[in-house]
Structure 1
Amino acid sequence: MRHLDLRSAQIFLTVVEEGSIAKAATRENLVSSAISKRLQELELSVGVTLLERSQQGVRLTPAGEAMVHHARLVVQAFNQMRAEMRDYAKGIRGHVRIRVSASSLAAGISEEILSFIAQHADIKLDLEEQETPLIVRDVVEGTADIGIGPNIFPSDHLQVVPYRRYDLALAVPAMHALARYSTVRYEDTLSCDHVEQPQSSALAQLLDYAAKQSSLIKRTRIRVRGFDGVCHMIGLGMGIGVVPIFLSSTYAQKYNLKFVPLSDSWARPMISIMYRDREALPFAARTFVEHLEASRSTGM
């Protein structure tokens, strides 16, 4: 019986992606019989059928679907290791895989990242902007070392360090009826058309949850990516929307908006630093976390 190995995992993924053993053989520069033998040995190794074969191609079994997830993690980890080893050979002393939300970038994390790079030229930061639910997923699954985003939907699998305040406000055109208020309840905005980010974003999910606590129905007129897009659409009169209040210094004058703080208790989340286990973080990742902690401002 053949042991599970990286090459078998890669060939299995190629077959899944191509949907055909023959096409996978062409892509991998192998004969079809060699691909079939690899798949058979792989299935013997794990003790279950992974693929159903037919004249139309291959189809994943439930076990095969689970195997795809694990195989991708294995291949991704190996490729990451190979890339890091090349960098170490060039003098790099550490890698930090970071996932960061758009709100964190807008809150000033970009400046702290630049500051860290200036002080630690021998540590490479692999930074990717993502929506908060995906950030949490990547850190939990180990494909990222550190996540930075609003702690709106915390995970029991992560350690969380508060970093910066993230008070939410209602952005409205300057001449809107709600612009004259000093604060506003979210429920009192639901009679208006709303502009929001995609439903996959943490803020959109939070607003959906808050709206469900009311007897009113939220009317989302348009969804756009990024807070700049949200504020721009509001400035054009497409509706009103909830955004971090610190964006007022950037967009109030640019789009002729008024930012009215929300009075709801849930409207004061915190941008946080997230990781699985501080003690298990690589030296470079711990160094980056300590750099952020030295500059954090939680308002507490």
Structure 2
Amino acid sequence: MRSIDFTSARLFLAIVEEGSIARAAAREHIVPSAVSRRLAELEDLFSVELVERSRNGIRLTPAGEAFTHHARMVQQAIERMHDEMSEYLKGVRGHIRVRVSASSLSVGLPSQLQSFMRLHKRVRLDLQEMDTPDVFREVRQGRADVGIAPNLVDNEELELFPYHRYDLAVALPARHPLAKHKSLRYAQVLRYDQVELQPGAALSALLDSAAAQSSLVKRTRIRVHGFEGVCHMIASGMGIGVIPLLLQQTREQSYGLKFVPLAESWAHPLICVVVRKLEDLPGPARALVQHLGVAAAA
């Protein structure tokens, strides 16, 4: 079987992103017939149609969708190769792309990253905070080497390593009728107006699923961005809400709230270190996972 022409793969991605051969040709500054020829060569190489052509442009076939995924992974790998080689010229000895959730930053992660950087002073760390679903998506799609977030979303095709406990609790005003309880069932919580994160958040999806198993209807009165906003709304008397218990130490006194643990099996997920495949990681990224594993065990 002939080898894949990376120029053809790049042009195929341009077709996908632009939605038509003509626009892809204009973007790549070549004639449309050349793009069509490259597409035909790819389809001939695999003996399968990658796109369906119409007057309105192109539409991917199932084979085309699969090829798009692999082509993007290859393109990202080549781009990263160029970036890392240029960094070696500047004295850098590795580049790790890390994506983290807000909750993972609340359990001592910053100090552990700092200790890693002290041990690996010539490694560049590219860290971005994201919502939990985005952390998993970045790792799955190869745009990040390591993710650190609660295991609240689909994690197929990924390897997860336990990092820190992530118990959920009900945050409510100190004088609320439920504040005297040692723990609560979610059915008790659902009798009151809820304050939650935006619908795209992993915790919101988890609570929607849990509420669907109950005979009660969840009344979400307010949705906000971030747990700080949830605490502020609850303190203002706008409802009660489920948030990580680990926020109790910093939020309970400052907002005049009471945190009551949830007594549900699903209310005890784990914050995990997430990778596509540990053995395939570059040396510096693998060293970071190992460093976090040691820290978690300690």
**Interval of TM-score (by shorter of Structure 1 and Structure 2):** 0.7 to 0.9
Deviation, structure 1 residue 158: 4.4
Task: State the alpha-carbon separation in 2 of the partners of residues 211 and 54 from structure 1.
Answer: 45
Distance 1:55 1:158, change over 3 A: closer
Distance 1:222 1:4, change over 3 A: farther
Distance 1:55 1:162, change over 3 A: closer
Task: State the alpha-carbon separation in 1 of the partners of residues 94 and 277 from structure 2.
Answer: 18
Q: Which residue of 1 is the match for residue 187 of structure 2?
A: 187
Distance 1:221 1:292, change over 3 A: same
Deviation, structure 1 residue 165: 2.1
Q: Do the aligned partners of 2:170 and 2:241 also contact (CA within 8 Å) in 1?
A: yes
* Match runs of 1:153-168 below 5 Å: 155=155, 157-168=157-168
Secondary structure at the residue paired with 2:96?
strand
Secondary structure at the residue paired with 1:192?
coil
Q: Unpaired segments of 5 or more residues in structure 2?
A: none
Q: Which residue of 1 is the match for residue 89 of structure 2?
A: 89
Distance 1:135 1:183, change over 3 A: same
Q: Which residue of 1 is the match for residue 101 of structure 2?
A: 101
Q: Unpaired segments of 5 or more residues in structure 1?
A: none
Deviation, structure 1 residue 88: 1.8
Q: Do the aligned partners of 1:165 and 1:297 also contact (CA within 8 Å) in 2?
A: no
Q: Kindly, what percent of the aligned residue pairs are identical?
A: 54
Q: Do the aligned partners of 2:73 and 2:142 also contact (CA within 8 Å) in 1?
A: no
- Give 1:188's aligned amino acid: Q
Secondary structure at the residue paired with 1:271?
strand
Deviation, structure 1 residue 115: 2.7
Deviation, structure 1 residue 279: 4.3
Q: Do the aligned partners of 1:2 and 1:42 also contact (CA within 8 Å) in 2?
A: no
Q: Which moved more, 1:248-257 or 1:9-18?
A: 248-257
Task: State the alpha-carbon separation in 2 of the partners of residues 193 and 204 from structure 1.
Answer: 14
Q: Which residue of 1 is the match for residue 71 of structure 2?
A: 71
Q: Do the aligned partners of 1:198 and 1:225 also contact (CA within 8 Å) in 2?
A: yes
Q: Which residue of 2 is the match for residue 120 of structure 1?
A: 120
Distance 1:50 1:245, change over 3 A: same
Q: Which residue of 2 is the match for residue 48 of structure 1?
A: 48
Say whether residues 1:196 and 2:196 are aligned partners.
Answer: yes
Say whether residues 1:24 and 2:24 are aligned partners.
Answer: yes
Q: Which residue of 2 is the match for residue 247 of structure 1?
A: 247
Distance 1:48 1:191, change over 3 A: same
Q: Which residue of 2 is the match for residue 288 of structure 1?
A: 288
Task: State the alpha-carbon separation in 1 of the partners of residues 55 and 290 from structure 2.
Answer: 57
Task: State the alpha-carbon separation in 1 of the partners of residues 88 and 257 from structure 2.
Answer: 49
Say whether residues 1:221 and 2:244 are aligned partners.
Answer: no
Q: Which moved more, 1:128-137 or 1:118-127?
A: 128-137
Structural RMSD (CA): 2.6
Distance 1:67 1:283, change over 3 A: closer
Task: State the alpha-carbon separation in 2 of the partners of residues 218 and 60 from structure 1.
Answer: 40
Deviation, structure 1 residue 171: 0.9
Secondary structure at the residue paired with 2:225?
coil
Q: Which residue of 2 is the match for residue 260 of structure 1?
A: 260
Secondary structure at the residue paired with 1:216?
coil
